């Protein structure tokens, strides 16, 4: 998941349907291991989502468990002081990562961060690299919807995103679906 200014921008890729749903949940709800790993600038682990020691992701946890995830781990993507997002791992059974697995997660997060920077370095200024855009889900429809809601309600883009997320959460819908309905003029937020 790539992020900037504490806002999830989208996923570059996911390994399977559960992984994709976990990313979608974090994007929709604004909470989860990737979000925390990015914001806290450190790895975040929840070795047992069904019975966590500390409840920290009220909306995310039950949906992730229902999707088949029992443990989740987020590792920040960064090179030096440049933070790009976070790498998310999950497993279908509870349990912490071993020391070797944790070390591998840190190494892999570093490799992914450098790969993202290398891909973006090849893009013209102000444009997203084609390699990043081709397999990613940056939810351009969400940004269109945020602009529409911002204009309709005369609020900032940040406030429009909050309202879209709140609507999605309150109605049990995915954020991307709500955004698509706004852009298609099937839904208007008041």
Share of the chain above pLDDT 90, in %: 34
Confidence category of residue 98, pLDDT binned at 50, 70, 90: very high
- Domain span at 173: 140-183
Say if 119 falls within a structural domain. Answer: yes
Residue 23 reports pLDDT greater than 60: yes
Which CATH number do you get for residue 48? 3.30.450
Lowest-pLDDT range of 67-71, 97-101, 113-117, 141-145? 141-145
Does pLDDT of 160 surpass 70?
yes
Tally of domains in the chain = 2
Rounded Cα distance, 37 and 168, in Å: 23
Least confident of 42-46, 123-127, 134-138: 134-138
* CA–CA dist 103, 81 (Å, integer): 20
- The answer on 83 and 146 residing in a single domain is no
Helices (H), the chain: 17-29, 33-40, 58-67, 99-121, 130-134, 140-153, 157-170, 175-183
Q: Are 90 and 157 within one domain?
A: no
Residue 34 burial by Cβ neighbours in a 10 Å radius (0-12, 13-18, 19+): buried
Q: Is residue 41 part of a domain?
A: yes
Residue 190 lies in a domain: no
| Judgement on whether residues 58 and 117 belong to the same structural domain of the protein | yes
Same domain, 63 and 86: yes
d(CA 110, CA 122): 19
Please check whether residues 120 and 145 belong to one and the same domain: no
User: Do 128 and 45 reside in the same domain of the chain?
Assistant: yes
Classify residue 189: in a domain, yes or no: no
- Structural domain contains residue 78: yes
Same domain, yes or no, for 26 and 58? yes
User: Biggest alpha carbon distance in the chain?
Assistant: 51
Token pair for residue 100? 């070797």
> Are both 27 and 73 inside the same structural domain?
yes
Residue 171: CB atoms within 10 Å: 10
Instruction: Read off the pLDDT band of 139 (50, 70, 90).
Output: low
Pair 119, 156 in one domain: no
Q: Are residues 161 and 99 in the same domain?
A: no
């Amino acid at each position: 998941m790539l992020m900037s200014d504490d806002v999830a921008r989208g996923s570059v890729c996911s390994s399977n349907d559960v992984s994709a749903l976990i990313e979608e949940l974090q994007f929709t709800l604004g909470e989860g291991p990737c979000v925390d790993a990015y914001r806290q600038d450190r790895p975040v682990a929840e070795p047992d989502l069904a019975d966590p020691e500390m409840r920290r992701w009220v909306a995310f946890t039950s949906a992730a468990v229902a999707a088949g995830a029992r443990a989740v781990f987020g590792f920040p993507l960064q090179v030096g002081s440049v933070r790009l997002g976070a790498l998310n791992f999950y497993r279908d059974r509870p349990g912490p990562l071993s020391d070797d697995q944790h070390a591998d997660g840190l190494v892999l997060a570093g490799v992914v961060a450098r790969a993202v920077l290398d891909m973006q370095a090849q893009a013209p200024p102000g444009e997203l690299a084609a390699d990043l855009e081709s397999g990613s889900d940056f939810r351009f429809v969400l940004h269109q919807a945020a602009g529409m809601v911002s204009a309709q309600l005369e609020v900032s883009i940040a406030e429009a995103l909050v309202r879209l997320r709140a609507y999605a959460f309150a109605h049990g819908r995915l954020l991307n679906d709500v955004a698509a309905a706004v852009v298609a003029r099937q839904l208007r937020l008041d």
